[in-house]
Amino acid sequence: MEFEIVGYSKDYYTLDRKYIGSLVCEKDRETFGYLGRNKIVLTEDLIIKKKKIKKGTELLTELFPLNGRIIK
C-alpha cells in the first residue's frame, strides 16, 4: 500500500530516551524513525506541550511521515 504524505512529525527525546513531545515540521532527512535518530543541540528555546526546553540542551530527534489517504 502507498499513502499520501501530508507532512512530517518530529519526536523529541532526552538523552536517556524519555519522550518529551512532538512537533509538525518540514522534512530534514531521508531516513525516518529509529534508524534516522539524530542528536541535536538546541540553538534557541523550544516549547513543546507547554514545556520550555532551554537553548543549549542536547536532545534526540526522530522524524516520521504523517500519512493521509491510500494512493494505491
pTM: 0.86
Q: Which three cell numbers stand for residue 29?
A: 532527512
* Per-residue model confidence (pLDDT) at position 54: 96
pLDDT at 72 > cutoff 80 = no
Question: How is 50-61 classified by DSSP, letter by letter?
Answer: TEEE-TT-EEEE
Calpha distance 39→15 (Å, rounded)? 8
pLDDT at 7 > cutoff 90 = yes
- pLDDT for 14-70, tens place per residue? 999 999 999 999 999 999 999 999 999 999 999 998 999 999 999 999 999 999 999
